[in-house]
Every structure is written in C-alpha cells, then in structure tokens.
Amino acid sequence: MSVRSARYNLLLLRNPKGLTVIPEERDAWAFLDAAGIKSSRQQRAVIDLVRGLKNAQLWSKMKAIYPFVGGTATTHKFNLKDARDADAAYRLQFNGGYTHSSNGILPNGSNGYASTFLNENTSMTLNDQHMSIYSRTDSDSGILRCDMGVLKEGDRESSIFPKYNNVFYPRIHATNSGIANTTNSLGYFISNRKSSTEIRAFQNNSLKQITNASVSKSDGIVYISAHSFSNSGNNNTPFFYSNRQLAFATIGDGLTDTDATNLYNIVQRFQTSLGRQV
Amino acid sequence: MILSQIPVTELVNYCAKLTPEQADSLRGQVFLQDSYFNPIQDIEDNWIISAQEVAYCANPEFLWIKDLPMIPFVPKPAPPLFGGEA
C-alpha cells in the first residue's frame, strides 16, 4: 500500500460520520504528499482550505495557490492547484535571501524573490484576472515594495503594491493612480479585474473600486516578493523587492464581489487555523 | 568583517561583497535546498549577495562564501513607479 493510499485510508477512519471521503480532498493530499507535510494540524488546515475553495466555486478559478505551509523552501514552493515539482506547474523557485518559517515566507527586501514561471500573456485572460497576497508585515517607509507583479515594456502591468506612501496600488492589465486608503499593509490584498473599465480590489474584504481602462496583458513572468520587468535590456529582471512576510498567495481568474468575500473568509479561517492570522 | 561578527538582528543591513567572477559562479546555483543565489549590484556597482544567502548556505561547493567580506548594504535607487501615478 502506498503512503498516499495509507493516508487516504486514515482519513476515512477519521471521518466522524464514517462517510466516504470527498474525492476533491485528493487534491489536498497530492499537495501534502508532494510537500512532505506531516503535521496533522497543517494537514487539516490544507484539507479545509481545499474544501472551502471548492464549495465556494473558487477552485476552478485559480491557476496557482501558494499556502506557504510547512516552514521550509521545499514545502513552500508547491502550488496547491498543481502539486507537480515542475516549472509548468507554476512551482515556485526562491532566489536570494528569504527566511522560511511556520509563518510563511519572509524576503529580505534586497534580493529575495520567487518566480512563479507563470507568463501572464499566455496563461491569463484579458479583463479576467486576479492576484492576491496575505501580508503579515506592516511596512512602508516611502519605499516602493511590490509583493507580486509583472510588466513588459510596451505592455501594461499587473501588480500588488499594498502600501507606498499610504497608498494601495492594485493593478491588472493597466496602470492606475492607486487608492489612498491604507493605514497599514497587513492582511489580505486582492488586485482584481473582471471588466475593461474598472478594477475592483480588496483589502481585508473592503472593496476599493477604481474606474480604470485595461490596455493589455504583460508578456512576462509573475514574481512574488518583487516585480518582474522586461525590455530590450532586461529579461524578467526583479525590481521593487519586498520585505513583507507572506502567508498565502494566489493567481487566477477575475473575481466577483461575492467571490472575493468568500475567498477572504476562507483564507482568514486558514490563517487562524494555523495561528498566524493578522 | 565576516558574517560571524555581525549580530543576527543586523544581518539584513549587511551583504557579502563578490568579485564579478564570483558573482557569475554563484548565479542560479543552489545554496540550500530549493533556494538559489541571486547576486545583485549595490549603489556602487559592487556585486553582492545577501547575508541570508551566506548564513544559510549548506552547499559544500560554495562554503567559501562564509569567508567573504561583509559590507553595509546600500541599494541602488529604485526606479519610479511604473506608469507613474496617472
């Protein structure tokens, strides 16, 4: 009997009602096995996360989900949506200085970033995209720090700058002037677009609406903890290194307001179950 | 100054200085499982890696970085926000 089968059977035994395990939980076990996560608390949190995303019809809207569970680069690199250890599965590659812990990934703000290997131009749809990050660090200091982003010169960008001079910049397929909103960079930030005319972004389930015309996707790789930039002299060069600790991140299709609320609630419950909510 | 002389709380303010040849030899190499070197240039165009890369390096091929000189980290100025604020 394989380890995976043994765990699957164990889950059956743990089921308090003695019912058949929901088949969708196999996605959670695929991730847990790939990452080698043995902690029952972390296993339960991931299973509950997958169950919540599927019940809320969010699972199919995701291209990449990074739960940052397990405390090492090896456990943090896996994409919950596709747990293969391959660039094509959008498995992360950590570069430069990071500190990995049970609270997530902490870049050093000078040369640490993670490549998703996800090219926005080929993997995403214009006017139908979101990016999200869960930040456990409150930082600004008037320094541009990006927690997820991509731009090729001549195209338009998609990014999350949670707080720069007290402004949140949520960008998808365009630039915009940002939202003077924020007193801190803590919690769950979503850059989101479902139309060609507006961005509907969120900080901790608070809607930030901007009238903003989309222009184009970027032919580049999405980075986490930095912003990739490409032109004639740069090929996905990282800029705007972040020093914020992240405990979750996603890339996927555009979200309705209801989707965003559901996602916030699911992610906050996930963080609370791991004792790292902010 | 080398890494062991820097208090842990100050590590983020320091980096290890490399020659251009050393930077080339480290670029894209693994320093710890699933963690890759990322040499960059500081404000004076010195090639550097972070104190974390030095501290966490467990690749026997690159343990010589533990003896690199550590210097204060001063980044290049960031470019303006892409697309301005309009």
pLDDT-based confidence at A155, cuts 50/70/90? confident
Reported pTM: 0.92
CB contact under 8 A, A144 and B86: no
Residue B8: the pLDDT is 82
Q: Is A96 on the interface with B (CB under 8 A)?
A: yes
In the predicted structure, residue A209 carries a pLDDT above the cut 60: yes
Q: Are A148 and A131 in contact (CB under 8 A)?
A: yes
CB contact under 8 A, B50 and A113: no
A178 HSE (CA, 13 A, CB side): 20
In the predicted structure, residue A21 carries a pLDDT above the cut 60: no
CB contact under 8 A, B83 and A108: no
In the predicted structure, residue A23 carries a pLDDT above the cut 80: no
**Chain A hits for B48, Cβ within 8 Å:** 111
**Chain B hits for A85, Cβ within 8 Å:** none
Q: Calculate how close chain A gets to B17, using CA atoms only, in Å.
A: 14
Report H helices in A56-180: 73-76, 120-123
pLDDT-based confidence at B78, cuts 50/70/90? confident
Distance separating alpha carbons of residues A167 and A181, to the nearest angstrom? 6
In the predicted structure, residue A16 carries a pLDDT above the cut 50: no
CB contact under 8 A, B33 and A73: yes
In the predicted structure, residue A13 carries a pLDDT above the cut 60: no
pLDDT-based confidence at A9, cuts 50/70/90? low
Q: Between A276 and A18, whose confidence is greater?
A: A276
Distance separating alpha carbons of residues A75 and A157, to the nearest angstrom? 29
In the predicted structure, residue B42 carries a pLDDT above the cut 70: yes
Q: Is B81 on the interface with A (CB under 8 A)?
A: yes
Report ipTM (2 d.p.). 0.94
